[in-house]
Structure 1
Amino acid sequence: MTKEGSAGGNTGQIAHHIHELSVEDEERLGNLFKQLDVNGDGRIDIHDLSVSLRRMGIHQMPGHAQKFIERSDQNKSGDLTLAEFVYYVLEHEKKLKLVFSSLDHNKDGRLDLEEIYSSLHKLGLQVDRAEAKRLLQRMDKDGTLEISYGEWRDYLLFHPSSELHDILQYWRHSTYLDIGEDLNVPDDFSAEELQQGLWWRHLLAGGVAGAVSRTATAPLDRLKVFLQVHGKSHFCSIQHCLRHMLNEGGVRSLWRGNGINVLKIAPESALKFMAYEYAKRALRGDRPRDISIYERFAAGSFAGGFSQTVIYPMEVLKTRLALRRTGQYKGMVDAAMKIYRAEGLLSFYKGYVPNLLGIIPYAGIDLTVYETLKKRYLRNHDESEDPGVLVLLACGTASSTCGQIASYPLALVRTRLQAAAVLQQQAGGTDPATLNMRSLFRSIIQQEGFLGLYRGIAPNFLKVAPAVSISYVVYEKCRTALGVTMT
């Protein structure tokens, strides 16, 4: 080992640590280095580390592998020699040992549930014993419901910080990851995270991700709106509808309505976040605990309903702008003024009831399916193995799809009610003032059958996977840039 250490051109301080190694540590760290050195060139770079940690089933938060390389790379070459690796790991393990000892209140060499629970509370992380137990089980490899120093060390070896607060935050948040194009249930934050301003960074990162995702999938969204509103009487296929839109307004027309769709992200996210926090406080009462999945669903549904109530006129405006003909409106403000003059203020709340009703099945099914799939994955894999990005994206896509199937008929009726005046102008149909949710449901089923309630769902499904993927990638990039160290 000393030969490789000197070959790396490191200081005598590193070589001194190499000579101090016990036979057991020398074998352990030597074998670990070989595992991490994917291409076998005697050095570990960021690619080697990322790939090997993924193979080993070790949880990685974005940016952690890069930080590990940066902090252990003493000669700033961009990769690690064996000597550099051993030196950094030994120093890191010393710090981890000190943290472990500070949590081990009864000094028996193991961490139990009470010690973890009390430590989390001292740091302002309000968790109940059920969550503390889940955290313990995540690190507890031998199923004793206690954590040995070896289990602690192995789990946190590649975490770039040895600060107790950072470790507990990482440990807690590594168990949660919610992804989707437009979640109805926001993420949870501790009191300290709220004070540190993580919430607004998270909202900003989510807003940018949503804007990019919605813009990228806007043509599919407009296609969906056209098929929902016009039904089979106008367009016999997706290709027919797409051809019509291109002939009427050109390629740029595919993004009609996207501006207002992006613009409403900020107020909707902020209102949803504030309402969610209020609902959580109401559900908790005076008890310092984390809310259950059912309470999250209730709080999320309330938050979604509240935010939708406030920004709903923007939803109506989005639909009308997506359906507009070339030259009909000069912009968002012009469209709003013309609609108000012609149809009155109540026109901006057309379809509000089915929209509100649709939040409950979508939020409930989306959240339930996502949590169920994630837990099933964890049950069928080693406890120390975290779901990879592809698994979580698949869970997010599947849960979003199931939620949409359940709530889609309500979404279709909502869109037709929003566009009732447009249909009446174009075809002299039913007076929009007399149209309501019940009569519209009856009319669609009579004229188009049950499948008529799912008109436009194909382009909606087509946009789920790219929307979720784009949202995730952009969110992670923004999150890293803003310094939000949680998923």
Structure 2
Amino acid sequence: EEHFLFRSLDRIGPSELNLFFKLKFRAGEEIFHQGDAHDNFYILSKGECERHISHPKSRGSSDDRQGEGSGSLAKTIFPGESFGELGLMYNSRRSATIRARTDVECWAINAEGFHRLHLGGGARYLQAVFQKNASVKLDGKLYATPEDFLKFANVDTFPQEDRERLSRLLISLVTSNRKADESDNGKVLIDFWEFVRFDIVLNQPNAEAEFGFRLADRNNSGFIDAEELMSLLNEYKDIDEEAEKMLSSFHFLSNLFGRDGSHAISYKEYCKLPLGSILPGQFRRDVHFLAEHMLYHLEPAVTHDEDESHDYVDVVNGYLYKTEGEQPKNTMKQHLDPLHLLAVGISGAVARTFVAPLERLKILMQTDSLTGRKKFTGLWKGMKTMVHRERSLMGIFRGNAANVIRIVPTAIIQLSAVFLIREKLGHNDELRKQSVQSKEFKASSGSTKIAIAGVSGLCAGIALYPLEFIRGRLSVQSASHCPYNGILHGLRSSIRQTGLLSVYRGLTPSLLGVFPYVGISYATYDQLRHFFPKLQDGSGLPTPTSAVICGSVGSLTAQTLAYPLDTCRRRMQVHGFLDGIGRQGDKGPRMADVIREIHRTQGMLGFYRGVVPNALKVVPSTIVAYYMYDFVRTRLIIERSLWFRNESGPGDGTLTAFTAKSISETTDRSGL
């Protein structure tokens, strides 16, 4: 469970363990040799192994596979350690020789099993994308041509003057500089696992450095020699003065490869060198451009003939659908996915009902001092008083109906607002022209998400505030004091007694709390998720369990810091209601008056009355909503042939990097 291949899995069951098979080696026997093609990934269970690395220029013939001449000892491998993953991840030859020091036993897994385990559910998504774009079928297997991949990558958006060069680099990255052979019928064909390996590398923290090394390593040996670097420099000398200077500098080349040019640079050496000291500037900018484009700016193009009918894989609100016929457009109707809304409604209703007693107790504690009699002074005493006043258990759910019926309308308004804002931003020329050569887009994406979520929250808050107002009043009713018979009766009575604006009392603190809540919860979640296990689907996001923990802590932190505003809102909502005082035209107290009154009578702690039951409801509410959403959605997946589910935390999706960014600003369902 501590191993990198397993630590992000929620469970390790028979389906995962059955991918492994046991291998035994005698002392002195080679498990694999440097320069061999990759086959398996190994975890050592018994015995000890040695890792030997030999310089490619100093090795003997490739057939010399015995004795100490095969390299110097770099490391001793002990039980529990693993080896052989780099060749599988990067489609490269073995960069070292592994020899058994003693009799050893290993657990091995082949390349396909390794990638399936490493990617988790993300492999299904990548397979769907690959099937959509691959056009060649040989011996029952699908392959993508370079043209297929370039079409998927939407290279038409590349600068015209650089398109040919960047396209050539991109294909070299995917194929690991592989050339066409006879079996390819004169064309380089890309199989599914090459596509997977490219996605894995793309999502590594050092992707750009890795891409640079792989492109410079023309023969895929795991080393860059002088001939390979000179070939790269020759390609760039006409467009980059730096490349021409490097090529003509004996001092530069001799420092890297020795005076006789026999040295070759390993990946370890390469990582220690400043990239500017080995790779020309334009080449580095090209690599950066490709990585940024594939990660953050990819919008796959669809260009089929009008009279043809095709099956499409479409991402809607983080869900991957297979649809027949014409490629659907990104419309408002599509954005308001009915399955998502139904799942949000059901999961939200169950979660809110589950914690309704704690929510009502919180409101009673916030407003208790308005009656002059503090009956709800603690969690346990307050709960007993609440049950006693109602004379039945059902009474402790007062106000929950108004809370539940807001869920779906809130989701519709928020998602609509998100769509409209993103649509507006999408047509903003300045945003579209933003250079992928800089990091500004990545740096501002978090604040953009917060702004979009905050504005959508303001829209929903204003539109549905009367329901929030009446929920506060219904929650403070009791069996002996029940002026309102329900939601509609309460709204009509309040408007009739104190005017239409009365149902918007407390709106100001409510709106003031939107951006602090969204910002704090997002920032907390975003910081915490880096310390928890992550999904192996290329997104780098937490597992469902980690997401629940991070989301709960983020929500609790934000609610606690913004809690004084919530207290002000509740007291403004029930002003004149508990004592039966209310007259036409009464606007109620101002927010500043409420703040002064609370501080004068109760001190700073008065702003935090009810914070304990509020904190206690956060975790169970988040857990119930999260897993109930998955439960409902999974049942609906079967009916709609849904292929892959997106687990979203605040402001992010967890498909692969190819689509995660495009759906990252959808509303956080736990926040609903």
TM-score (norm 1): 0.64
1:224 paired to 2:362: yes
* Alignment partner, residue 351 of structure 2: 213
8 Å contact kept, 2:201–2:207: no
Distance of aligned partners of 1:412 and 1:59 in 2 relative to their CA distance in 1, 3 Å threshold = farther
Find the aligned partners of 2:606 and 2:546 in 1 and give their Cα distance: 33
* Alignment partner, residue 333 of structure 1: 488
Alignment of 1:214-253 (within 5 A): 214-231=352-369, 233-249=374-390, 250-253=392-395
**Which range moved further: 469-478 or 345-354?**
469-478
Letter in 2 for 1:199: D
Alignment of 1:31-50 (within 5 A): none
8 Å contact kept, 1:58–1:385: no
Find the aligned partners of 1:263 and 1:208 in 2 and give their Cα distance: 10
1:422 paired to 2:483: no
Q: Runs in 1 of length 4+ with deviation above 6 angstroms? A: 24-27, 132-135, 139-142, 163-170, 381-385
SS at match of 2:478: coil
Find the aligned partners of 1:164 and 1:197 in 2 and give their Cα distance: 19
Using the TM superposition, give the Cα deviation of residue 385 of structure 1 relative to its aligned residue in structure 2, in angstroms. 6.6
8 Å contact kept, 2:362–2:613: yes
1:447 paired to 2:601: yes
Using the TM superposition, give the Cα deviation of residue 203 of structure 1 relative to its aligned residue in structure 2, in angstroms. 2.5
Using the TM superposition, give the Cα deviation of residue 25 of structure 1 relative to its aligned residue in structure 2, in angstroms. 10
1:398 paired to 2:553: yes
Find the aligned partners of 2:382 and 2:329 in 1 and give their Cα distance: 50
Distance of aligned partners of 1:94 and 1:101 in 2 relative to their CA distance in 1, 3 Å threshold = farther
Find the aligned partners of 1:173 and 1:134 in 2 and give their Cα distance: 20
Letter in 2 for 1:247: H
Find the aligned partners of 2:603 and 2:493 in 1 and give their Cα distance: 35
Find the aligned partners of 2:543 and 2:577 in 1 and give their Cα distance: 46
Find the aligned partners of 1:251 and 1:212 in 2 and give their Cα distance: 17
SS at match of 1:425: coil
Using the TM superposition, give the Cα deviation of residue 214 of structure 1 relative to its aligned residue in structure 2, in angstroms. 0.7
8 Å contact kept, 2:343–2:632: yes
Distance of aligned partners of 1:376 and 1:438 in 2 relative to their CA distance in 1, 3 Å threshold = same
Using the TM superposition, give the Cα deviation of residue 436 of structure 1 relative to its aligned residue in structure 2, in angstroms. 1.4
8 Å contact kept, 1:297–1:363: yes
Letter in 1 for 2:492: M
Using the TM superposition, give the Cα deviation of residue 447 of structure 1 relative to its aligned residue in structure 2, in angstroms. 1.5
Alignment of 1:98-137 (within 5 A): 98=144, 102-103=148-149, 106=168, 108-111=171-174, 136-137=202-203
Alignment of 1:15-414 (within 5 A): 28=40, 58-60=119-121, 94-95=141-142, 97-98=143-144, 102-103=148-149, 106=168, 108-111=171-174, 136-138=202-204, 144-145=210-211, 192=330, 196=334, 199-231=337-369, 233-249=374-390, 250-284=392-426, 285-286=428-429, 287-288=431-432, 292-326=445-479, 327-375=482-530, 377=532, 387-414=542-569
Distance of aligned partners of 1:193 and 1:306 in 2 relative to their CA distance in 1, 3 Å threshold = closer
8 Å contact kept, 1:363–1:403: yes
8 Å contact kept, 1:207–1:266: yes
* Alignment partner, residue 13 of structure 2: none
Find the aligned partners of 1:433 and 1:452 in 2 and give their Cα distance: 23
Query: How many aligned positions are there?
Result: 373
8 Å contact kept, 1:283–1:295: no
Find the aligned partners of 2:209 and 2:513 in 1 and give their Cα distance: 42
Structure 1 residues 56-106: Cα deviation after superposition (integer angstroms, max 9, x where no partner)? 553436x969x99xxxxxxxxxxxxxxxxxxxxxx99943x5378832653
Find the aligned partners of 1:99 and 1:227 in 2 and give their Cα distance: 67
Distance of aligned partners of 1:30 and 1:201 in 2 relative to their CA distance in 1, 3 Å threshold = same
Find the aligned partners of 1:135 and 1:191 in 2 and give their Cα distance: 31
Using the TM superposition, give the Cα deviation of residue 198 of structure 1 relative to its aligned residue in structure 2, in angstroms. 6.6
1:468 paired to 2:618: no
Using the TM superposition, give the Cα deviation of residue 246 of structure 1 relative to its aligned residue in structure 2, in angstroms. 0.8
Instruction: Determine which structure has greater relative contact order: mean sequence separation of CA pairs < 8 Å that are 6+ residues apart, divided by chain length.
Output: 1
SS at match of 2:513: helix
8 Å contact kept, 2:119–2:538: no
8 Å contact kept, 1:59–1:385: no
Letter in 2 for 1:452: G
**Which range moved further: 286-295 or 448-457?**
286-295
Using the TM superposition, give the Cα deviation of residue 304 of structure 1 relative to its aligned residue in structure 2, in angstroms. 0.7
Find the aligned partners of 1:230 and 1:295 in 2 and give their Cα distance: 40
Find the aligned partners of 2:554 and 2:312 in 1 and give their Cα distance: 30
Distance of aligned partners of 1:141 and 1:346 in 2 relative to their CA distance in 1, 3 Å threshold = closer
Distance of aligned partners of 1:147 and 1:309 in 2 relative to their CA distance in 1, 3 Å threshold = farther
Letter in 2 for 1:242: M
Identity %: 26
Using the TM superposition, give the Cα deviation of residue 204 of structure 1 relative to its aligned residue in structure 2, in angstroms. 2.4
Find the aligned partners of 1:146 and 1:168 in 2 and give their Cα distance: 32
Find the aligned partners of 1:395 and 1:193 in 2 and give their Cα distance: 32
Using the TM superposition, give the Cα deviation of residue 418 of structure 1 relative to its aligned residue in structure 2, in angstroms. 0.3
Structure 1 residues 175-198: Cα deviation after superposition (integer angstroms, max 9, x where no partner)? xxxxxxxxxxxxxxx964866567
5+ residue gaps, structure 2: 1-35, 44-81, 83-112, 129-137, 151-166, 176-197, 215-219, 221-299, 303-310, 320-327, 435-440, 648-672
Using the TM superposition, give the Cα deviation of residue 323 of structure 1 relative to its aligned residue in structure 2, in angstroms. 1.2
Structure 1 residues 122-158: Cα deviation after superposition (integer angstroms, max 9, x where no partner)? xxxxxxxxxx99992249879513798x9xxxxxxxx
Find the aligned partners of 1:53 and 1:221 in 2 and give their Cα distance: 46
Find the aligned partners of 1:194 and 1:99 in 2 and give their Cα distance: 35
Letter in 2 for 1:296: K
Distance of aligned partners of 1:60 and 1:304 in 2 relative to their CA distance in 1, 3 Å threshold = same
Using the TM superposition, give the Cα deviation of residue 28 of structure 1 relative to its aligned residue in structure 2, in angstroms. 3.7
8 Å contact kept, 1:139–1:147: no
Find the aligned partners of 1:314 and 1:147 in 2 and give their Cα distance: 59
